[in-house]
Amino acid sequence: MFVEHPQRVALHNEIHARPFGGVQSPARCSCIAFQAGEELDADVRDHFKGFCQRYSLTPPAPDQKYYEGQCDGFAVIWERHAEFTVYVFKRQAEFDHPFDDPVLNLIPEDWLATTPGQLLVGLHIAMDREDRSPDEISRLFDHNGLTGGRVMGGTAMVWTDFRLHGDGFGRILIRDQGLETLQAGRLIQRLKEIEVYRMMALLAFPLAHCATPKVSEIDTRLSVITAEMASKSHTDDEGALQKLTDLAAQTEEMAASLNYRFSAARAYYRIVQARLVELREDRIEGLQTITEFMERRLAPAMRTCQNIGDRLEVLSKRVARANNLLRTRVDILLEAQNRDLLASMDRRVKLQLRLQQTVEGLSVAAITYYAVGLLGYLFKAIKDAGVPINDRLATGIAVPVVLAAIWLSMRRIKNALHRDEG
């Protein structure tokens, strides 16, 4: 009846692409995220297929980016993103200590050791209904400074220290105070995404630090070049143009290498901010909220990246303006040189014309001389032949006639040449 768009079903189902599922207290999760770009996509999928074969699970389809399966005693969630892969192992069972014997211990070590990519996030999340004292909670986090708050409308309390512990993993403790099953799943998903996207956003921070001295160096060199250009004594425009071209190439190279990472950082940071809003966090007396912690620690790093990106963009525009100004000045100098050259050529043409006119007069006189000489021989021959003629008088009379004839002939030739040129 209708002509259906080929992507209609896929686009419609995209909104359900990564459902975390429900979780009931008590429960624990181990989350690991590996940076693995698209060039490792085949390896990532083959590696997870190996996991599915071990536990007799149906592997994800080639175009599938989210998978959840139930293994013996735990569940696995696999998420494939453009730059990273997330594995979540969750178990709903009673436990004595929230962070002893994590779910990750159930996963084969040989499979974990061959996971494609580089480990970026390691996180243990524990959720139960136990009402622990502040001292006990502090011991669970090795007495580190805690961050947390009441979330999801007061149905849960969350604590974390945003530190890596002895096993190399971070820790988050959740007290269930009336969470629905799906609510609990969404809360764990949001906390996991805050940590993963926070780390992905921070990948740009070291690059910004490394780029800072280079950007400052380019800025200084550009200032020196522009100062030289403004100096009246500066004459090496070709050298300045070469320096500006080199600066432009370096600036564009840096911008090209950093632009993707900075753009990705901004996108990840926006996701972190959105997930923080979704927590609906309220303060626990004496604790800094997770949102406040992020604004104090993550936001400055993102502003640093933004600042370097803005400086690079401004530098690129400044180099382009300086380049255009210098090229304009060089063009003006060339036009002045060309004008002087044309004026010099005009003077030379005029001199050549005068010289040509002089030579033409001499040429007429010379041709007349030889022509009259020939006529003189002719008149003498006629006289010797018995014709009564005064050869000298005839030669003298022939001079103005020959001169006029040659001059008129030269003039006709010149006029004919001018007509052909016109």
Output the CA–CA distances (angstroms, integers) from residue 390 to 4, 115, 326, 403, in the order listed: 119, 127, 82, 20
Residue 4 lies in a domain: no
Q: Which residues pair with 308 in a beta bridge?
A: none
pLDDT digits (tens, 9 = 90+) for 90-126: 999 999 899 999 999 999 999 999 999 999 999 999 9
Output the CA–CA distances (angstroms, integers) from residue 308 to 209, 272, 341, in the order listed: 9, 21, 48
Quote the pLDDT of residue 245.
Answer: 81
Let me know: does 67 contact 60? Beta carbons within 8 Å.
yes
Do residue 378 and residue 326 come from a single domain?
no
Name the band, by pLDDT with cuts 50, 70 and 90, for residue 186: very high
User: Given phi > 0 = left and psi -120 to 50 = alpha, else beta, which region is 168?
Assistant: left
Name the band, by pLDDT with cuts 50, 70 and 90, for residue 12: low
- Residues 37 and 120: their CA atoms lie apart, in Å, by 13
Quote the pLDDT of residue 378.
Answer: 77
Averaged pLDDT, 180-201: 95
Let me know: does 27 contact 94? Beta carbons within 8 Å.
no
Name the average pLDDT for the chain.
86
Quote the pLDDT of residue 321.
Answer: 80
Do residue 50 and residue 105 come from a single domain?
yes
Name the band, by pLDDT with cuts 50, 70 and 90, for residue 234: low
Residue 329 lies in a domain: yes
Do residue 103 and residue 162 come from a single domain?
yes
Averaged pLDDT, 137-145: 93
pTM over 0.85: no
The residue with tokens 């006990």 is: 136
CB burial of residue 86 (10 Å; 0-12, 13-18, 19+): buried
Do residue 321 and residue 227 come from a single domain?
yes
Quote the pLDDT of residue 241.
Answer: 76
Residue 184 lies in a domain: no
**Residue 299's CB: how many other CB atoms inside 10 A?**
13
Tell me: pLDDT of 14 over 70. Answer: no
Tell me: pLDDT of 339 over 90. Answer: no
Considering the chain, what percentage of its residues have pLDDT values greater than 90? 51
More confident residue, 125 or 411: 125
Residue 222 lies in a domain: yes
pLDDT digits (tens, 9 = 90+) for 27-85: 999 999 999 999 999 999 999 999 999 999 999 998 889 999 999 889 999 999 999 99
β-pairing, 170-176 with 118-128? parallel
Q: Which domain holds residue 374?
A: 358-416
Do residue 151 and residue 290 come from a single domain?
no
Name the band, by pLDDT with cuts 50, 70 and 90, for residue 358: low
User: Given phi > 0 = left and psi -120 to 50 = alpha, else beta, which region is 214?
Assistant: alpha
pLDDT digits (tens, 9 = 90+) for 246-268: 888 888 888 888 989 999 999 99
Using the CB atoms, write b or e for 239-255: b if 16+ within 10 Å. ebbebbeebbebbeebb
pLDDT digits (tens, 9 = 90+) for 366-395: 777 777 777 777 777 777 777 787 777 777
- Domain termination residue (choose one: 282, 307, 340): 340
Among residues 16, 114, 118, 36, the alpha carbon closest in space to that of 81 is found at: 36
Quote the pLDDT of residue 382.
Answer: 78
The per-residue DSSP string of 14-35 comes to: GGGSS------SSEEEEEEEEE
- Residues 360 and 407: their CA atoms lie apart, in Å, by 9
- Domain termination residue (choose one: 286, 305, 340): 340
Residue 60 lies in a domain: yes
Which tokens is 263 given? 């753009």
Name the band, by pLDDT with cuts 50, 70 and 90, for residue 236: low
The residue with tokens 């009379």 is: 397
Averaged pLDDT, 133-152: 93
Tell me: pLDDT of 422 over 60. Answer: no
Do residue 172 and residue 244 come from a single domain?
no
How many domains are there within the chain?
A: 3
Do residue 161 and residue 281 come from a single domain?
no
Hey, is 176 helix, strand or coil?
A: strand
Lowest mean pLDDT among 106-110, 242-246, 290-294, 299-303: 242-246
Do residue 171 and residue 249 come from a single domain?
no
Tell me: pLDDT of 278 over 90. Answer: yes
Hey, is 220 helix, strand or coil?
A: helix
Do residue 29 and residue 136 come from a single domain?
yes
Among residues 272, 192, 278, the alpha carbon closest in space to that of 18 is found at: 192
Residue 39 lies in a domain: yes
More confident residue, 323 or 188: 188
Among residues 311, 101, 110, the alpha carbon closest in space to that of 220 is found at: 311
Residue 327 lies in a domain: yes
Do residue 208 and residue 336 come from a single domain?
yes
205 phi and psi, to 5 degrees? -65, -50
Quote the pLDDT of residue 271.
Answer: 95
Q: How many residues does the chain have?
A: 422
Do residue 25 and residue 152 come from a single domain?
yes
Residue 186 lies in a domain: no
- Residues 130 and 140: their CA atoms lie apart, in Å, by 13
Quote the pLDDT of residue 165.
Answer: 94
The per-residue DSSP string of 47-112 comes to: HHHHHHHHTTPPPPPTT--EEEEE-SSSEEEEEE-SSEEEEEEEE-S--SSTTSS-GGGGS-HHHH
Tell me: pLDDT of 396 over 70. Answer: yes
Do residue 216 and residue 304 come from a single domain?
yes
